[in-house]
């Protein structure tokens, strides 16, 4: 049965954050508000949960999943970051950006792109997401809540409940989110490359 938590967007209730973390540790799939759209997230190390997340979202292993991290130092554990890339990340995080970088060995192979060995990473500027990441003590793996064959994200918790209640373990209602997904920037080439224009201003990356 899907649980439904109403969590304050600015002052998340510690009790509910702790319960949400327990659901994730137990293999749950969670709809989580971010500073762009709602995202579907699960435990980084839970293979079955990751496969279920992909099925719900309708994506295969060639679609980048994203690691939601607490800060830049955590990104450095899961991606190779040179000085130039670090300067870009420092200017753009936290915020509505997803960056594609070369994955380190800390990233389970099934989570990185099968041919490129890259991974998407972001540091969301959202109190609920940040509190949950702090409680877990490690990144979440996730994807924007845009359903297969649709262009627009689901931005309202009640709409998520109506569409996906039987497939999710927890829906966190943190208020309406932006309708725009993150801006995706590929930092693996010599110069940053815009993959998807979203809420974030790509000018931060010189684009």
For the stretch 16-36, pLDDT in tens is 999 999 999 999 999 999 999
Alpha-helical runs (H) found in the chain = 14-25, 47-57, 72-78, 83-92, 127-136, 157-164
- Across all residues in the chain, what is the average pLDDT? 91
Using a 10 angstrom Cβ sphere, with 0-12 exposed, 13-18 middle and 19 or more buried, the burial of residue 14 is exposed
pLDDT at 106: 81
79 has a pLDDT exceeding 90: yes
Rounded to whole angstroms, the Cα distance separating 162 from 142 reads 20
Rounded to whole angstroms, the Cα distance separating 131 from 110 reads 27
In this prediction, residue 146 has a pLDDT band, given cuts at 50, 70 and 90, of confident
Angle CA 138–24–105, to nearest 5: 40
pLDDT at 82: 94
Better-predicted residue by pLDDT, 175 or 111: 175
182 has a pLDDT exceeding 70: yes
């Amino acid at each position: 049965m899907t649980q439904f938590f109403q969590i304050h967007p600015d002052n998340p209730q510690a009790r509910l954050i702790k319960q949400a973390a327990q659901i994730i540790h137990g293999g749950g799939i969670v709809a989580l508000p971010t500073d762009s759209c709602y995202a579907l997230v699960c435990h980084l190390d839970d293979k079955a949960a990751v496969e279920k997340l992909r099925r719900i979202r309708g994506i295969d292993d060639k679609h980048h999943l994203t690691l939601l991290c607490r800060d830049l130092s955590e990104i450095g554990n899961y991606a190779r970051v040179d000085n130039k890339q670090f300067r870009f990340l420092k200017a753009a995080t936290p915020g509505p950006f997803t960056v594609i970088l070369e994955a380190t060995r800390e990233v389970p192979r099934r989570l990185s792109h099968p041919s490129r060995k890259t991974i998407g990473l972001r540091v969301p500027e959202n109190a609920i997401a940040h509190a949950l990441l702090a409680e877990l003590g490690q990144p979440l793996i996730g994807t924007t809540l845009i359903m297969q064959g649709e262009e627009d994200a689901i931005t309202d918790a009640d709409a998520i409940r109506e569409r996906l209640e039987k497939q999710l373990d927890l829906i966190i209602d943190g208020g309406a989110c932006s309708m725009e997904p993150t801006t995706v920037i590929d930092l693996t080439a010599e110069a940053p490359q815009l993959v998807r224009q979203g809420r974030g201003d790509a000018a931060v990356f010189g684009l």
